[in-house]
Amino acid sequence: MSVADPTTTIDATLAATAALRCEGLVKAFQGVHAVNGAAFDVPAGQITALIGPNGAGKTTVVNMLSGAMKADRGRVFLGETEITGWPSHRIAQHGLLRTFQLSRELGGLTVLENLLTAAPNQAGDSFLNALLRPGLIRRQERENAERALHLLAVYGLYRHRDTPARELSGGQKKLLEIARAVMGQPKVLLLDEPMAGVNPALIDVLGGYILDLKKDGVTVLMIEHNLGVVERICDYVIVLAEGKTLATGRLSELRQNTEVVKAYLGEVMDASATH
Amino acid sequence: MTYYIFTLVFFLFDYFILAMGLNIQYGITGILNFAYIGFVAVGAYVTGVAAMPANTVGQHYILGLGLPFPFNLLLGGFAAMGLSVLIALITLRRLRTDYLAIVLVSLSLVFYDFCNNYVSLFNGADGLYNVPEPFAKTLGLGSNNFIVFFACLTGVVSLIMWFVMSRVMRAPLGRTFRAVRDDAVTAAALGKNTFWMQMKAMMIGSFFAGIGGGLLIQFGGSFNPTAWLPAETFVVFAVLIVGGAGNNIGMFVGALLVETLLIHLPAFLPEIPGHPGLIEYIDTVIVGVVLMVMLWFRPQGIVPARLRKTASFGVDERLDEEAGELDRTTALAGVGTRAEATR
């Protein structure tokens, strides 16, 4: 476990196998630093939680890692490849996909089409192929559709396959977001509060899906406030506070860390005690 | 009578092409291109000057290549496409939705004034006239026969364009355009280069605009700034909204109702006694009213965009059934019902 040193990684072994790494990330909005030197490694093939109080800069960090937002300073590595400053579509094409805090379904597309949009390397995105190679496109579309239908069945959305995504319920949209990201065959998946606004029963289901992703070799980094979920499914935890990496380690270890308890865990525990 | 009917037929097919071009930009990709008529004009002018000889008494213009049809028409289409690349490079990188629309309107006005006043380009306010009529001499067509012939030719061109557009819309490219329209941030997060996709939609749509414009100048033999007042863009938008944004058949229906029946047919009706020219002015009012009624009661248009169902992807029935079975198992395990419980 490391404490209050943003340059320190979880440990040397994990650093060597980091699927995603960031160094000294800085982002300011009109002079206010939302992220101020965040640095951490996300170990390959594990589920890592990114936790911290509100305003700690968690979503801003995820936005910078996924290319949705440009960092003012700092570097990001996906495996061995530096992806600093890459646009989000290029990062996604290299295997880092994400979901959003508020579900962002492609509302005018059907549920099946939402998944098909995420399928990588589609020949039919080229105008010339669309015009001149209908056979190739038909074959690829059929294969992708079969894979998408299987995923929809696994995620309990098959019966909604032809429904416009905007008509799904909140929980179903959460499921769709994860299924769609999985359709993109991610090496690293960033989940921004996947359990937010989800009922307790569905939280268990979603947790099961995330564990399944780990079994499939996907590295997961998830922002999560529900410490019960973090305890159950996450292997490692990164604590952000005031835009900096406060600590990294297992949750059980972090519970012993006074700074972490003071900055975040105490607050959460107090809050849960009042309910 | 033949002249009237085939003039209407020509406008039907020509506006079908124009509406399909705007549909891919706005209806499918969500680019609010309020400068659309500018691309139509570029297509018309370039088609004209590409067909005209190097020098014509009393007219000033560039090119003058004397190209035969359809090469001049294709050049017009590609010129409009080329302009769209320039405009897209200036606007699409930084601007979205209403800001993009305002800048496009401004560019359209600048371009309009430029063409109107810079005589050496396309003969200024007088515009181009006496543009050679395609195949008229070869086939020995009189003016009435030429109109019949050219209206039918435009019909054939519109069928080819419809085939091309249907391929694009049915391909993953069409789906990606719709994804960019619905949420560009999400589309980018799924690996789609949204700028390049919008650029593609601009290029394809502008090529259609250029071809539609080229057919206009070839049909009438002339084209000047009064033919493409910036407000004309909204007639094409009316075709699109009435027909049903996102659907090619809707574009045909919109072109039939708005351009043919509401805008051009009244011009052929007898004058109202004591009120010369009244019908011509009333038609614009009627189009405005129809537009408002449509937006209020049927914003999806007469022929709305259709959702693509699973069956159309040619999925193996056995695999489809397996997925259905797995879904039922998942539902029995509580996933589906739990998901639905969150409604």
Q: Which residue of A has its CA nearest to B195?
A: A89
Q: List all residues 6 or more positions away from A186 whose beta carbon is below 8 Å from its beta carbon.
A: A95, A96, A97, A218
pLDDT reported for residue A270: 55
Positive or negative, the CA dihedral A13, A14, A17, A22 is negative
Residue B168 burial (10 A CB sphere; 0-12, 13-18, 19+):
buried
User: Averaged over B212-221, what is the pLDDT?
Assistant: 93
Average pLDDT over residues B169-186: 94
**Statement: residue B153 has pLDDT above 90:** yes
Q: Which two tokens stand for residue B159?
A: 């069928």
Nearest to B184 by CA among B172, B195, B199, B173: B195
Element (H, E) at B252: helix B248-254
What mean pLDDT is predicted for residues A79-104? 92
Is B97 exposed, middle or buried (CB count within 10 Å of its CB: 0-12, 13-18, 19+)? exposed
Q: Is the pLDDT of residue B236 over 80?
A: yes
Q: Which of residues 23-62 of A touch B (CB under 8 A)?
A: none
Which has the higher per-residue pLDDT, B216 or B328? B216
CA nearest neighbour of B201 among B336, B39, B23, B50: B23
Summarize pLDDT for B76-100 with one digit per residue, the tens: 999 999 999 998 888 887 777 778 8
Mean pLDDT of the region B38-49: 94
Does residue B340 have a pLDDT over 70? no
Question: B interface mutation test: which of A59, A141, A189 has the most B CBs within 10 A?
Answer: A141
User: Which DSSP symbol is given to B262?
Assistant: I
Q: What is the mean pLDDT of chain B?
A: 86
Give me the percent of chain B exceeding a pLDDT of 70.
Answer: 95
Query: Domain locations in chain A?
Result: 2-105+186-274, 108-167
Q: Given CA atoms B229, B234, B235, B237 in this order, what sign does their dihedral have?
A: positive
- Average pLDDT on A143-149 reads 91
Q: Which of B116-120, B130-134, B176-180, B312-316 has the lowest mean pLDDT?
A: B312-316
Contact A240, A259 (CB under 8 A): no
Could you tell me if A27 and A64 are in contact, meaning their C-beta atoms sit under 8 angstroms apart? yes
Q: What average pLDDT is seen over chain A?
A: 86
Kindly report the backbone phi and psi dihedral angles of residue B145, in degrees, each rounded to the nearest multiple of 5, phi listed first: -65, -35
- Segment among A13-17, A207-211, B25-29, B67-71 with least mean pLDDT: A13-17
How near does any CA of chain B get to the CA of A239, in Å? 25
Q: What is the mean pLDDT of residues B42-59?
A: 88
Domains and CATH numbers, chain B: 2-297 (1.10.3470), 312-341 (no CATH)
pLDDT of residue A275: 46
Q: Place A34 in a pLDDT band, splitting at 50, 70 and 90.
A: confident
B335–A116 C-beta distance less than 8 A: no
Q: Are B72 and B50 in contact (CB under 8 A)?
A: yes
Count of CB atoms within 10 A of residue A9's CB?
Answer: 21
Residue B274: per-residue pLDDT: 79
Question: What is the per-residue pLDDT across A36-89, written as a single tens digit (0 to 9) for each?
Answer: 889 999 999 999 999 988 888 899 999 999 999 999 999 999 998 999 999 999
Q: What is the mean pLDDT of residues B130-147?
A: 82
Q: Which of B171, B176, B185 sits opposite A137 (nearest CB)?
A: B171
Check CB contact of B57 with chain A, cutoff 8 Å. Answer: no
Q: Tokens 């039922």 appear where?
A: B328
**How far is residue B222 from each of residues B10, B41, B47, B48, measured CA to CA in Å?**
15, 12, 11, 8
**Can you tell me the distance from the alpha carbon of A10 to that of B196, in angstroms, rounded to the nearest whole number?**
40
Confidence band (pLDDT; 50, 70, 90) for B226? Answer: confident
Q: Residue A167 gets which letter from DSSP?
A: G
Does B317 contact chain A (CB < 8 Å)? no
Say what the pLDDT of residue A3 is.
45
Fill in the DSSP letter of residue B19.
H
What is this structure's pTM? 0.88
Prior bond of B70 cis (ω within 30°): yes
- Chain position carrying tokens 């959003």: A100
State whether residue B131 is helix, strand or coil.
coil
How far apart CA B261 and CA A163 sit, in angstroms, is 36
> Which residues, including other chains, have CB under 8 Å from residue B125's CB and lie 6 or more apart?
B116, B117, B224, B225
Mean predicted confidence (pLDDT) in B197-216 = 95
In terms of CA atoms, which chain A residue is nearest residue B309? A162
For residue B113, report the phi and psi dihedrals to the nearest 5 degrees: -65, -35
Tokens 């010129």 appear where? Answer: B79
Q: Does residue B186 register a pLDDT over 90?
A: yes
Question: Mean pLDDT throughout A135-160?
Answer: 90
Say whether B189 and A68 touch across the interface (CB within 8 A).
yes
Q: Is there a contact between A202 and B338 if contact means CB atoms under 8 Å apart?
A: yes
Interface test with A, best of B161, B163, B173, B183 (most A CBs within 10 A): B173
Average pLDDT over residues A217-240: 90
The architecture of the domain spanning A2-105+186-274 is 3-Layer(aba) Sandwich (3.40)
Closest Cα in chain B to A132: B167
Contacts of A241 (CB under 8 A, 6+ apart): A52, A53, A56, A263, A264
Spatial strand order of the sheet with A236-241 comes to A2-3, A244-249, A236-241, A47-51, A219-223, A188-192, A96-98
Read off the DSSP letter of residue A125.
Answer: G
Is residue B141 pLDDT above 80, yes or no? Answer: no
Among B164, B175, B194, pick the best mutation site for testing chain A contact (most A Cβ within 10 A): B175
Separation CA B108–CA B33 (nearest Å): 10
The predicted model gives B123-132 an average pLDDT of 87
Look at residue A35 and give its three-state secondary structure: strand
Predicted-complex ipTM score? 0.87
B106 C-beta neighbours (distance < 10 Å), count: 12
For residue B168, name the pLDDT band (cuts at 50, 70, 90).
very high
| Mean pLDDT for the stretch of residues B141-169 | 91
Task: Report the pLDDT value the prediction gives residue B76, as an integer from 0 to 100.
Answer: 95
Q: Pick A135 or A266 by higher pLDDT.
A: A135
Q: Is the pLDDT of residue A1 over 70?
A: no
Q: Residue A44 gets which letter from DSSP?
A: T
Point out which residues pair with A22 in neighbouring strands: A40, A76
Q: Which two tokens stand for residue B187?
A: 């589309």
